[in-house]
Amino acid sequence: MASQLIYLILWACAASLVLAAEGIRHSSNLDNLGFLQEPEDVVGVKGQPIRLECLARSPHSPVTYSWKKNNEFLQQTQRITFQNGTLYIKKVVRRKRKDITDEGVYHCIAKDDKGIISSRPARISIASLGRFFTNPAPVSVHRGGAARMSCAVKESLPLPHYSWLKNNQTLTQDSRLVMLPSGVLQINQVQDSDAGQYVCMASNVAGERLSEPAALRVLPAVNRPPSIIARPANISVVVGQGAILECLADGDPMPDVQWHREGGQPISSAVSTILGRGNLLISSVNVSETGVYTCTAKSSAYDQVVVARATVTVHVPPKITELPVDANTPVAGTGRFNCKFQGTPVPSIHWLHNGEPVVLNGRMTVNNIYTLVIIQTTHDDAGYYQCVVQNQAGYISAVAKLNIEKRANEPSAPTNLKAVTISSEVINVSWSESPPVNGEPTIAYSVHYLPTQGGKEHQEVVKEPHKRITRLLPHTNYTFYVRAYNTYSSSRQSEEITQMTAEDVPKSAPSVTLASHADSKINVYWDKLPPKEARGEITQYKIIYRRKNVDEETYILVPGDQTSYEITGLAPRTTYEVRLLARTSQGYPDLPRQTWATVTTTNSPNPQAPEVPDLKVIVLNATAVQTSWRYPNTSQTPVDGFKMKCKKIGDEEGSGQTFNVPKNVFKKIIANLEMGTQYEFQVVAYNSYGDGQAAVRDASTLEVPTSAVPVPIDVHAHSEYSTTMFVNWRVASEPIIYSYELRYMEDNKEDTKELLELKEKSAQLSGLKPYTMYRIAVRSFTHNAHSEYSKEVMCRTKEGKPGMPKNLKVTVRSPTSVEVSWQAPDNPNGIIREYTVHYKYQDQGSASFRILNGSATFAKLAQLHPGKVYQVEIQASTRAGNGPRSEKLEFKLEVPPPSEPIDNLDDTKVGIIAGVSIGIVCVAICIVLIILKARNRQRPSEPEAVRYYGNGHLPQSNGGNLYHQCTANGHEDSITPMLPANCTTADDPTIEIQTPILKRKGIPTVNQGYRPNGIAISSRLGQKYGVNGRNMESPDSQHLLQNTSSEPEGSFHGGVGSSSVSSPEPSNHTSSQYLSPNTDSASSQSPPGSSQSPPGCLEGDITHSDTGKIPPPPPPPPPPYPQPLQQQQQQQLQQDSQHSKSTSHAKQLTDSTEQLQSQGDTMEEGPEPLPKLSNSTHFPTAMPQVEETEFAGTASQLTQDQAFITTV
């Protein structure tokens, strides 16, 4: 009997442990396919092997791999193989003559049963070393001065290493000799021994090359003023990389070189040093190093300072600040993915669907740069979507999954789709009706069509199986497909068909150029019409000509494949007007307002007269054009000069202006023309035999007035204060300029435009908004004209103090804890660096805590005193300082009944804890029974029950949030693993799925280096990175605190979402910390045995300060009779169950209201709403409109991946 009891207890223990382990195992699942390792750029050597690493994981199915080279799928051969995702090339080849090379851009393609994702691009380059295009030049230097030589080779991979030889001996760098990575050799304080022959050597894995030698000659020392012989160049550098600003000064005595930053900003000595005598070396560039650097050389013997400037631009790799999240939508619904990012320069973004670029049309669009919207979803839209963000500094991507929910009674797709062309703008589409499904008839169809060559997709909704599509473009191919709808769902799309509209007459006439090559001939030239203007195949041209001022017209028909024609039999020295019409199968267009081009025939039958020049006309502005011409090089006829004629079209012959141009001039600017007027320009070459043939061109001046007044250049703006900006500029040449006009406005806000009239070439702008980007331009004025505006420059004002946080709210979470939430100030005036929470109770002093997370929108105060009235205020801070406090908000914590336990635990949490506890107890009982059986002794009394932490209290849940976020359909958040959620399902509100977060705080540890949700970080993850790529060794990460099973009195949780995380690092990153506020009392620590405690303290990413004195209140009285642990648990579980059910029914009612609201929003997104259906219809509500919201609140209001990323 005893042995059977032991076996039974062992079985129960094993079962409870397995259940607990199963819950933990499920909690670590990740929902999407993602890369653990992505390929990187690599330089290979011809004939040597090369590998591109790629590794992905999927929780759904085994991962299969393929590779693309230059967007074409690679096939495995004996030389190229795929080894568990890794691309292996046995021998790298590059054969230019046969156009065979392994160089190119490669992508790793990973696939599971849910979809496909594509890796970052990785370029394979073959090592090469180019020839020298810059050889060192001989130089003569005075003794004690500075010498400089430089060399450079053509494009080489990898970048070459430069070294120098003197008289065939390798030089080493010292205090006098400096060799820069760019191939520059600097020699300071030149000595006689430095004379000799110098050679530059470039080398990399492809080999090495020697430059031509150059001699250094040393001259006697002479006094000379300071000069800078090598000035710094403007550079762009990626954050974290190094940079060198060269500045080499010469003079006798040797000048002193110093570096400064414009605007008075200091140069950080922590990352900057002087290399040699004057080069500035920045070892690790960060964003604050952006700016203008000034090198000054000053000599004690000369009252002269030489200055050189250079701009350092820091590029920041892109960072995704809002990740796309998985979406579920029915067929014909709407899917939406947000992907917000930042970086310098501003990154570009594009989207991939299952590894292929998303084609944007009317059904798939991008809103506000960041949001991809997919309307009228189909089954083919399911899969993985990646937002890919990149700039010159890096690449990053994030992935989310779109699930298309299949509903019952889905109709079949329409069949026998046909299209018939009716006219140039109309196509009739018809199809076979979709049969009923389980008695559900088809109630509507949607016809989708778009230009086959690409364009916006349109749709029409009908009830009958045919539709007449109108307002199409003539002679254009269109692609059509149809979908059917019943009251439950929509069908898959039908097969696509393509149909072309009929031709129409051309929309316009070709552009014509005329030239007179003889006394009785005119040459006519024209360009072909573009397809949108031709509206069909051009089969014929009609050339119409007439004498000027004569109504009689003559026309000539020319085949449609010609672009020139010579009209003969004309009268010499006669002006003719010509126009041209094009014809399709539908005929010629009626263009009554078409203008006539004019040309005058010549009267010179002499073959010795010059030929016609080739004339071009460029419109410069509203009152000037530039004419240029070329005379045929093959002509043997001499030219004595050119005659230029200009007149308005429509004026009498002989009117206008005539210019004589020398024979060696082939350009003429004609000014003082009228704005917006069409002119005719002619150029005639002449010699002693007479005038040649005229070249004729027409052109129209611009409508916008401009002038020849010089445009201001080198406009420079900088800001030293939050509301003030300084602007200066110069002009290249200065006629009598009376004033300047400065225009400035907020970026992307034309209505904020301001104008200033100035007399000087500088200005101070005041009254600006803090931390705001402004666009600035300047133009010059004379007494009667003005220039164009200069090129716009952009400058941002400094940060200012922020406004007060708004919408402060307090939500009681338990008898001893509250959640304080707020919204960011309307005027942040910069980047919010932190929030300070001030709070106190009654009339006592206040405590204040800083939350080092500028994106935080809530904080939790725990272990407060029930029955006390508290006051709380929030204060935001930027780099400029603290802003005003928010309005005070009071709240009171009610005293709980004595029998009511403070901590609340749901059923499944208690189940897991109880399972583990029972397992431990069972093991202990088994050991005791075995010992007792072996000794055959009498069974002792039952041992005392095991209690948690020795006090009988159950541990608290994750930040006090007992239940996790559940969607309306009963699904849980992605990414964060957990057991079934405590919520009702969408299908049956009476069914509850109860699931607490496991009894530990934060995101569970995952495989090291894995980026959840397919997030690809531009830098490679190593052991020191967390689940979202964050460097856990950074100073910020040291503030991230883990939760434990108990909290000290007055603990505080701050941030957006959960402020506690688990790192994929070893356990040295999982220790707990607590910070308590200081008060004005004599000591921050209570004396031994004292029950005093501060009013609260912050747990999480905080620092603390003391601003008041708070005598602690007495603790709440204990319950009169301690209840057994099991009885407390049973009561609590009953309360939780009732609370969960009421919450679930309330949530279902809210979801129903939101669903009705989304119905109207969805129907507005399509080009035309679908027919109104009955109340039981599922089809219209299958097109939800996803609202964009700003997440602010507790972790139960956010998915775990959002909460985690936002907090970090």
Coil vs helix vs strand at 255: coil
pLDDT at 137: 93
Cβ contacts of 200 within 8 Å, gap of 6 or more: 132, 135, 136, 149, 151, 162, 163, 164, 165, 183, 185, 210, 211
**pLDDT for residue 1061:** 33
pLDDT reading at 515 higher than 70: yes
Q: Which CATH superfamily is domain 137-149+159-310 in?
A: Immunoglobulins (2.60.40.10)
Helix (H) or strand (E) holding 108: strand 104-112
| Per-residue model confidence (pLDDT) at position 1141 | 47
**Model pLDDT, residue 461:** 92
pLDDT at 60: 85
Topology at the third CATH level for domain 415-500: Immunoglobulin-like (2.60.40)
Q: Supply the DSSP string of 406-427, one letter for each residue.
A: PPTTPPPPPEEEEEEE-SSS-E
Higher pLDDT pick, 647 / 757: 647
CATH of 34-126, one of 3.40.50.1220, 3.90.1150.10, 2.60.40.10, 3.30.70.270: 2.60.40.10
The whole-number average pLDDT for the span 1105-1121 is 46
Which tokens hold the place of 570? 């004309």
pLDDT of residue 749: 74
Number of neighbours of residue 790 by Cβ within 10 angstroms: 21
Q: What is the mean pLDDT of residues 544-572?
A: 88
Give the mean pLDDT of 508-532: 84
Sign of CA dihedral 1034, 1036, 1038, 1041: negative
- Please give the average per-residue pLDDT across 1167-1188, as a whole number: 38
Q: What is the pLDDT of residue 1010?
A: 39
Same topology, domains 326-405 and 512-700? Answer is yes
Residue pair 1069/1063 in contact (Cβ under 8 Å)? The answer is: yes
Three-state secondary structure call for residue 1202: helix
Asked if CATH classification 2.60.40.10 holds for the domain at 326-405, the reply, yes or no, is: yes
- Quote the pLDDT of residue 387: 94
Query: CA–CA separation, 559 vs 1115, rounded Å?
Result: 103
Q: How confident is the model at residue 751 (pLDDT cuts 50, 70, 90)?
A: low
pLDDT above 60 (res 962): no
Looking at the chain, the whole-number percentage of residues with pLDDT higher than 90 is 28
pLDDT, one tens digit per residue, over 94-107 is 887 777 888 899 99
- Residue 477's pLDDT band, with cuts at 50, 70 and 90, is very high
- Return the pLDDT at 420: 95
| pLDDT of res. 1114 | 52
**Quick one: how many helices (H) and strands (E) in the chain?**
5, 82
Which of 130-134, 843-847, 1001-1005 has the weakest average pLDDT? 1001-1005
pLDDT tens-digit series, residues 219-262: 999 999 999 999 999 999 999 999 999 999 999 888 999 999 88
Q: Quickly state the pLDDT bin for 907 (edges 50, 70, 90).
A: low
Q: For residue 738, what pLDDT is reported?
A: 65
Residue 149 is predicted with a pLDDT of 95
The mean per-residue pLDDT over the stretch 1133-1152 comes to 47
pLDDT in tens, 455-476: 788 889 999 999 999 999 999 9
Nearest alpha carbon to residue 322 among 1158, 1054, 1188:
1188
Grade residue 1089 by pLDDT with cuts at 50, 70 and 90. very low
Residue 781 confidence (pLDDT): 77
pLDDT of residue 376: 85
CB-based contact 1151:973 (threshold 8 Å): no
Asked if residue 87 has pLDDT above 70, the reply is yes
Expressed in angstroms, the distance from the first to the final Cα of the chain is: 58
Are 386 and 310 in contact by the 8 Å Cβ rule? The answer is no
Which phi and psi angles does 881 have, rounded to 5°?
A: 135, -170
Rounded average pLDDT over 926-945: 63
User: Which has more pLDDT, 18 or 138?
Assistant: 138
- pLDDT of res. 736: 62
Residue 373 binned pLDDT confidence (cut-offs 50, 70, 90): very high
Amino acid 1134: pLDDT: 53
pLDDT, residue 403, reads 92
**Euclidean distance between CA atoms 299 and 304, whole angstroms:** 7
- Whole-number pLDDT of residue 1116: 54
CATH number of 512-700: 2.60.40.10
H helices of 436-562, in order, are 531-534
Section 659-681 average pLDDT: 85
pLDDT of residue 1180 exceeding 60, the answer is no
pLDDT of 733 reads 64
Dig out the tokens for 756 from the structure.
Answer: 């200033």
What value does the mean pLDDT of the chain take?
A: 75
At residue 923, the pLDDT reads: 85
Q: Predicted confidence band at 367 (pLDDT cuts at 50, 70, 90)? A: confident
Q: What is the pLDDT of residue 197?
A: 94
Position 449 confidence tier, pLDDT thresholds 50, 70, 90: very high
Neighbours of 902 (CB within 10 A): 15
Residue 687: band (very low, low, confident or very high) from pLDDT cuts 50, 70, 90: confident
The answer to whether 1060 touches 1042, Cβ cutoff 8 Å, is: yes
pLDDT at 646 over 70: yes
Residue 30 has pLDDT above 80, yes or no: no
Determine the pLDDT at residue 701.
78
Average pLDDT for 370-388 = 91
SS3 readout for 556-620: EEEECCCCEEEECCCCCCCEEEEEEEEEECCECCCCCCCCCEEEECCCCCCCCCCCCCEEEEEEC
Q: Give CA separation, 1166 vs 460, 480, 665, in Å.
A: 10, 17, 62
Domain ranges for the chain: 1-30+909-953, 34-126, 137-149+159-310, 326-405, 415-500, 512-700, 713-787
pLDDT single digits (tens) 283-310: 889 888 888 999 999 988 888 889 999 9
CATH code linked to domain 713-787 = 2.60.40.10
Return the pLDDT at 784.
54
